[in-house]
Structure 1
Amino acid sequence: MELEKLGYTFDRNEKEQRIYQERDFKALRELKKLLANNISFVDAIKAVVSMGLEGKTPLSRLAFSQMKSVYRSVN
């Protein structure tokens, strides 16, 4: 999955299958929104990864400002 290639991590079970958590669904919903706003696939993936939704990483000010600039550029 492209998200993982750029650093997003999913929980996995003992068979290495992804275990989807609420944070993962949030990341996928955000990816869908970005793509619907004509953000390129690669830029959308990078934006979602930079949001820090995976694990326990909080959304940083930098990631938030990057997201604001992405949304401004499409509107």
Structure 2
Amino acid sequence: MSLQGERLYLKDVTVGDLLFFETDKNRKVINHVGLVVDISQGDILFIHSTTSQGVIISKLSENYWNNTFVMARRII
């Protein structure tokens, strides 16, 4: 799915777009995805599922997510 749709600059991301991440630094492969649910004061919020906390909403500006972010895409 990370190869489908239109690749976006972060400034062009809107609700419904997908964010892709590489959370395993030992393997260079996209292994996590989030769905943008809001953009508030320039901060991108996305919903995603985690093994430890279940389904949560996070900010892309959080260090962990900012450091593992690979790309944003619009599928439709």
Range of TM-score over shorter length: under 0.3
Specify which structure has the higher proportion of strand: 2
Q: Greater Rg, structure 1 or structure 2?
A: 1
Specify which structure has the higher proportion of helix: 1
When the two structures are superposed, what TM-score results if normalisation uses the length of structure 2? 0.27
